[in-house]
Amino acid sequence: MLIEGTTVTVPGPKVGDRDIVLDLKDILVAESRQNEVAIVTLMKAPELLALFNEAWRNVDKYVKQLIAAQNTAEHQLDRRRAKLLLEIVEGVLKGAGLSSTKDTRDAVIALDDEYQVIQDRLDQITAAAEYLKGMLKSFENAFTSVKKIMGEDAFNMANRIGNSNLSHGKEPNNNPKPTTTTGYGKSRY
């Protein structure tokens, strides 16, 4: 995994595949704004919620892409291991005068250069996926924190006065009747 500026680059899952390049520019901007949760206001909260939600969606898309690549790399690794066990390991062990045990077979597999290349690809893809999964959790926490700080009803527009479509059919009283209080006469507006 190569992190360079705002991009993360990992090798493709198969030998000969193009590298997977993830552009994290917008995601890193959103990540840097997570400290604003500490000073969130009612006016700023909707924008932060939208920003964190969009960043979460983008990171989730990249994680799914990396998981697909990880699965492909695992299949490639399994195929190479099977080929080694069926075609190569016994010959190497006989040539070295060693008995065939699980440990000696695993040693021959561990020394195979092609197996190591595939394992390295898998490790880099897995590391990038785990890196981004941490970001997912971070955005989820930031989003939830803003909602909790602002309170459950902070964005419930149904309770707002003046919008009959959102106030359950109750029209606002635009002509309130003056109230009277004992001893002071009629109220003036």
DSSP per-residue letters across 30-46: HHHGGGGGGG--TTTHH
The pLDDT of residue 166? 46
> Along the 189 residues of the chain, how does pLDDT read in single tens digits?
778 889 999 999 998 899 999 999 999 999 999 999 999 988 899 999 999 999 999 999 999 999 999 999 999 999 999 999 999 999 999 999 999 999 999 999 999 999 999 999 999 999 999 999 999 999 999 999 999 988 866 666 555 555 554 445 555 555 656 555 555 666 665
Query: What type of residue is 37?
Result: V
DSSP per-residue letters across 148-163: HHH-TTTT-GGG-TT-
The pLDDT of residue 34? 95
The pLDDT of residue 25? 95
> 184: which DSSP letter?
T
Considering only CA atoms, which of 51, 46, 53, 8 is closest in space to residue 32? 51
The pLDDT of residue 160? 54
The pLDDT of residue 170? 53
Classify 93 as helix, strand or coil: helix
Main-chain dihedrals φ then ψ at residue 3, nearest 5 degrees: -105, 115
Can you give the pTM of this predicted structure? 0.76
CB atoms closer than 10 angstroms to residue 97: 6
